């Protein structure tokens, strides 16, 4: 291949080629980092909440008549829901994963002030929670019915036992290698709480929190006027059961309003709406940049074909085949791309390090770089093929006819 002369001829026409190389470099840096962000978002979106999401929905009940017996109403409601055909189980809880609102507490391994603590989301609920959420209990046991107590609004009483997510247990007891069951921790700096069960996965309600995998079930029911019910149905029954439950609850007691009826699928969709929009926007930008870079390459190659019309005719006269003319432009583009891609790879890594530091992003996967190289090289080759074919059709007679 005539790499040498192509390179030397390139360096005699630097300006245009350097600009295109720069464009390729910038495209590459932006593309790689956009893809890294997209990957991170997609990874977040793919994290399991721990719940049997396809078969779960949630709703709220707000009692508006003062002095109602909330404890009786909640029991009646749950009884009614659980009796509905197609329902597996139901609970009242203050929140649930992906809801983006809820409560959390700090837990420490020793009592006292000024100690390090580990935060976790707390779900105040009962012994039906594991079944309703569809959680996988990997250690210990579920709450016994008599472990579950009622708390009043404003009370700061804490349950003596909890079931925690494995991620929380690992964060609080990083050195523990055996069982977490039976371990004691402290809430509100002083109140001892014992771990009686560990579930594989249970996310906190906030998908953007870096402790999103840390959460726990607390066997305390709250008799507030506002209640959030979570219902799990048999597979495929959710959409049939939802209107029935809504109707039945509305009928059973008219002194409250049933609201916020949502499937977990909707809840997840809403939680990650920003992320999926971000992914779409970045995909659009990357595509646009690739198209613009491709067009830039087409433009420069076309310009060069015109500028070199005579020289191409001479080469043909001296024995170049059409294929060799096409090859010339391909090799030239390959060299310019190589320069752009080389610089682009360095820029991309630098930009990524900057973003990792500034936005505490995870560093990009190494393999994005070679993939981006191949993509840009392909775009370059695809862009140059049209002008190169045109060049190959230049008649060798140009050599004797013009000038």
Partner 1 sequence: MLKMTKVSKIYRTDTVETHALREFSLEVQEGEFVSVTGPSGSGKTTFLNIAGLLEELTSGTYELDGRDISALSDRERSKVRNEKIGFIFQSFNLIPELNIFDNVDVPLRYRGFAAPDRRKRIENSLEMVGLASRMEHYPAQLSGGQQQRVAIARALAGEPRFLLADEPTGNLDTEMATNVLDLLDEINGNGTTIIMVTHELTLADRAKRNIFVRDGRVSDGPPEFRLAAAGGQG
Q: Applying CB under 8 A, does 60 fall inside the site for partner 1?
A: no
Q: Applying CB under 8 A, does 15 fall inside the site for partner 1?
A: no
Nearer to partner 1, 83 or 307 (CB): 307
Q: Applying CB under 8 A, does 13 fall inside the site for partner 1?
A: yes
Minimum distance, C-beta of residue 287 to partner 1, in the bound complex (Å)? 35
- Report the residue from 86, 324, 335, 389 that binds partner 1 according to the rule CB under 8 A: 324
Interactions with partner 1, residue window 220-239 (CB under 8 A): none
Q: Applying CB under 8 A, does 314 fall inside the site for partner 1?
A: yes
Q: Applying CB under 8 A, does 176 fall inside the site for partner 1?
A: no
Q: What is the 3-state secondary structure (H, E, C) of the chain?
A: CCHHHHHHHHHCCHHHHHHHHHHHHHHHHHHHHHHHHHHHHHHHHCCCCCCCHHHEEEEEEEECCCCCCHHHHHHHHHHHHHHCCCEEEEEEECCCCCCCCCEEEEEECCCCCCCCCEEEEEEECCCCHHHHHCCCEEEECCCCHHHCEEECCCCCCCCCEEEEEHHHHHHHCCCCCCCCCCCEEEECCCEEEEEEEEECCCCCCCCCCCCCCCEEEECEEECCCEEEEEEEECCCCHHHHHHHHHHHHHHHCCCEEEEEEEEHHHHHHHHCHHHHHHHHHHHHHHHHHHHHHHHHHHHHHHHHHHHCHHHHHHHHHCCCCHHHHHHHHHHHHHHHHHHHHHHHHHHHHHHHHHHHHHHCCCCCCCCHHHHHHHHHHHHHHHHHHHHHHHHHCCCCCHHHHCC
Q: Applying CB under 8 A, does 321 fall inside the site for partner 1?
A: yes
Minimum distance, C-beta of residue 388 to partner 1, in the bound complex (Å)? 16
Question: Residue count at the site for partner 1 (CB under 8 A)?
Answer: 27
Minimum distance, C-beta of residue 1 to partner 1, in the bound complex (Å)? 9
Nearer to partner 1, 255 or 321 (CB): 321
- Report the residue from 189, 311, 356, 386 that binds partner 1 according to the rule CB under 8 A: 311
Nearer to partner 1, 155 or 400 (CB): 400
Q: Applying CB under 8 A, does 114 fall inside the site for partner 1?
A: no
Nearer to partner 1, 275 or 332 (CB): 332
Give the interface with partner 1 as residue ranges (CB under 8 A): 2, 4-5, 8-9, 12-13, 310-311, 314-324, 395-397, 399-401, 403
């Amino acid at each position: 291949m005539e790499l040498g002369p192509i390179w030397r001829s390139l360096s005699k026409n630097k300006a245009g080629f350097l600009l295109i190389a720069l464009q390729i470099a910038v495209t590459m840096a932006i593309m790689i980092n956009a893809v890294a962000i997209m990957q991170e978002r997609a990874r977040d979106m793919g994290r399991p909440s721990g719940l049997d999401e396809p078969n779960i929905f949630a709703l709220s009940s707000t009692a508006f008549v003062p002095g109602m017996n909330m404890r009786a109403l909640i029991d009646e409601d749950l009884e009614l829901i659980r009796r509905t055909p197609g329902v597996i189980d139901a609970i009242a809880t203050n929140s649930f994963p992906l809801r983006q609102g809820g409560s959390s507490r700090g837990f420490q391994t020793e009592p006292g002030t000024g100690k390090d603590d580990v935060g976790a989301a707390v779900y105040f609920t009962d012994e039906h929670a594991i079944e309703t959420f569809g959680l996988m209990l990997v250690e210990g046991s579920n709450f016994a019915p008599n472990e579950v107590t009622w708390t009043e609004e404003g009370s700061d009483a804490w349950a003596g036992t909890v079931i925690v997510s494995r991620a929380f247990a690992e964060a609080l007891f990083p050195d523990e290698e055996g069982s977490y069951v039976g371990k004691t921790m402290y809430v509100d700096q002083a109140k001892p709480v014992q771990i009686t069960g560990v579930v594989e996965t249970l996310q906190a309600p906030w998908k953007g929190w870096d402790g999103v995998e840390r959460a726990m079930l607390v066997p305390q029911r709250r008799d507030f006027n506002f209640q959030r019910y979570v219902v799990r149905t048999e597979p495929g029954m959710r959409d049939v059961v939802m209107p029935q439950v809504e109707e039945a609850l509305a009928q059973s007691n008219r002194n409250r309003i049933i609201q916020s009826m949502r499937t977990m699928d909707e809840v997840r969709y809403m939680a990650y709406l920003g992320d999926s929009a971000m992914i779409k926007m970045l995909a659009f930008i990357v595509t646009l940049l690739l198209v613009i870079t491709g067009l830039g390459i087409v433009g420069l190659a076309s310009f060069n074909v015109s500028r070199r019309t005579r020289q191409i005719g001479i080469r043909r006269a001296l024995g170049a085949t059409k294929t060799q003319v096409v090859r010339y432009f391909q090799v030239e583009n390959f060299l310019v791309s190589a320069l752009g891609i080389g610089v682009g790879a360095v820029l991309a890594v630098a930009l990524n390090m900057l973003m990792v530091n500034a936005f505490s992003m995870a560093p990009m996967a190494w393999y994005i770089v070679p993939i981006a190289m191949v993509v840009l090289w392909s775009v370059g080759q695809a862009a140059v093929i049209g002008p190169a074919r045109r060049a190959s059709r230049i008649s060798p007679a140009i050599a004797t006819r013009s000038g």
